[in-house]
């Protein structure tokens, strides 16, 4: 392998399918000295299995990055056998209630512990985007809030916990994904906010955290105030002049996955690999296709060989990645003692927030859960919904996310004369769910509404007497809700959006 191709391979991380290193993958990794690999849900069954997988990767690659998206909440690639952590917004609500950011720090350190047990050494977390748009479900509860300084504090605490636990943290998605409702997994979003607004808001968490960060991830977004035409991932103005020049970031700049439609259906994944490195990125991600990863390596090497990609730029990128790889920590034993066992449940309980009225329930009440399998870009398939009935003796009625009239009629008939506890999931997105909740409230004015995903639903029903939020429907969050409703636990959560939901409810 030529020196330039080896350099090119050293600035690419790739994902693959399967839970084992088969013969094809073994051959590929022996012949292609990648910077590392990225793990997804399709690589994961349980900690012991993943550890066997990553141990084999380490035998095939020298000092590899073993990266994973383990944010907590709905974006977590491994759940079995590890501490399940609620969403960033739940952490924010819990920390606001306790008056301390220690829960965020402890959550990060516990995540790092579990990642090192499975052999991962770099987490594509925390998210430092802001929750600015109620229709922005691609970010939503993945954000720590909408106040930029508070987001910097909480994301910084989570990142500090990761680093204390021996896992490299990655701030994402630069220069900010919070101002658009479009999902870059599916299309290329554009942000039209003026530069002054972005500097006073979206960029603040990055500005505060980047100087001491080891890694950052780009956003596949056109931020017109800085570059009118090019996505940030391939923009020299954003990745070199802004990220390096103004914010003095000297760590590794990862691209988001180049197979996402925002890039793949526009510039194209292979071409974007070249343009991203030229713009100032250091490591490109190709998350699901080894052949495409090989073509990206070839494209980078060809561009460097022809002079289109300056050799010095490729060498600089490879040097940064190599420096990071040499500083990553070894795995921990699978049976090592956890630093903060139960931290997920503590956060889930502490995050439960009452927006109005009270959150108490009894044995005669009935739960109504709006839920359906969904597939989202960042999360992938979401088919498992934690049930209130798993944690309390309560009958549960399930309805689709966007129920037709006959389903709403069925639900009302099944509720009968009992008081309903309504678990809403994006009623602000699904019009028929909102209509169903309105009908339930007309029949049962004492109903308790629970916004179980993004909390924006909580402000769409001014006639409701009792409204609460959990900021996620993961197991710790629903268990915490059950403990408050049926176990007499006090409500501790404080609503974590500085607007108190009013502006988001209108917009």
Q: Give catalytic residues, as residue numbers.
A: 185, 256
Q: Which of 105, 107, 102 is nearest to 87 (CA)?
A: 107
**Which residue is listed with tokens 């090119």?**
8
Determine the Cα–Cα distance for residues 447 and 459; give it in Å rounded to an integer.
Answer: 15
Query: Distance of CA 38 to CAs 15, 54, 98, 292, 479, Å?
Result: 5, 10, 35, 14, 31
The rounded distance, in Å, linking the Cα atoms of 497 and 88 is 12
Residue in the structure block whose two tokens are 């889930």: 348
Helices within 331-474 (DSSP H only): 343-351, 405-415, 431-443
Residue owning tokens 């760590």: 251
Asked if 142 and 75 count as a contact pair (C-beta separation under 8 A), the reply is: yes
Measure CA 3 to chain center: 36
The alpha carbons of the chain give a radius of gyration, in whole angstroms, of 23
Gap between the Cα atoms of 477 and 195, Å rounded: 37
DSSP class of residue 246 equals I
């Amino acid at each position: 392998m030529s020196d330039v191709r080896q350099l090119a391979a050293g600035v690419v991380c790739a994902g693959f399918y399967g839970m084992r290193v088969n013969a094809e993958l073994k051959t590929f990794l022996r012949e292609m000295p990648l910077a590392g690999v990225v793990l997804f849900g399709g690589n994961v069954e349980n900690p012991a299995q993943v550890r066997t997988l990553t141990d084999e990767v380490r035998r095939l690659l020298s000092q590899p990055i073993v990266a994973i998206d383990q944010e907590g909440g709905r974006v977590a690639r491994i759940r079995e056998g590890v501490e399940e952590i609620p969403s960033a917004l739940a952490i924010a609500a819990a920390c606001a209630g306790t008056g301390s950011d220690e829960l965020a720090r402890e959550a990060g350190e516990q995540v790092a512990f579990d990642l090192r047990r499975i052999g991962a050494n770099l987490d594509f977390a925390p998210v430092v985007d802001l929750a600015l748009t109620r229709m922005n479900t691609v970010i939503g509860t993945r954000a720590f809030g909408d106040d930029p300084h508070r987001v910097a504090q909480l994301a910084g605490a989570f990142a500090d916990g990761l680093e204390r636990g021996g896992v490299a943290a990655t701030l994402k998605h630069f220069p900010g994904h919070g101002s658009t409702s479009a999902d870059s997994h599916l299309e290329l979003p554009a942000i039209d906010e003026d530069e002054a607004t972005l500097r006073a808001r979206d960029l603040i968490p990055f500005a505060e955290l980047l100087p001491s960060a080891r890694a950052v991830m780009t956003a596949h977004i056109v931020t017109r105030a800085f570059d009118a035409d090019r996505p940030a991932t391939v923009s020299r103005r954003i990745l070199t002049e802004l990220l390096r020049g103004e914010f003095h970031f000297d760590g590794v700049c990862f691209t988001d996955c180049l197979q996402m439609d925002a890039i793949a259906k526009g510039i194209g994944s292979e071409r974007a690999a070249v343009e991203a490195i030229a713009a100032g990125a250091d490591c490109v991600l190709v998350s699901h296709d080894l052949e495409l990863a090989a073509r990206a390596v070839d494209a980078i090497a060809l561009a460097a060989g022809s002079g289109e990609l300056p050799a010095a730029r490729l060498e600089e990128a490879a040097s940064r990645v190599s420096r990071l790889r040499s500083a990553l920590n070894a795995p921990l034993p699978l049976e090592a003692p956890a630093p903060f066992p139960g931290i997920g449940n503590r956060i889930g309980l502490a995050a439960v927030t009452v927006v109005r009225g009270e959150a108490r329930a009894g044995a005669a009440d009935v739960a109504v859960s709006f839920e359906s399998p969904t597939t989202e870009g960042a999360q992938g398939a979401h088919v498992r919904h934690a049930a209130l009935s798993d944690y309390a003796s309560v009958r549960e009625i399930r309805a689709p996310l966007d129920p037709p009239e006959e389903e709403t009629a069925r639900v009302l008939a099944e509720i009968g004369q009992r008081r309903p506890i309504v678990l809403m999931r994006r009623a602000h997105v699904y019009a028929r769910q909102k209509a169903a909740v309105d009908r339930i409230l007309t029949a049962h004015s004492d109903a308790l509404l629970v916004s179980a995903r993004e909390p924006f639903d909580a402000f769409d029903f001014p006639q409701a007497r009792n409204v609460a939020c959990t900021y996620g429907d993961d197991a710790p969050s629903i268990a915490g809700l059950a403990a408050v409703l049926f176990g007499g636990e006090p409500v501790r959560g404080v609503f974590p959006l500085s607007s108190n939901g009013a502006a988001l409810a209108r917009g």
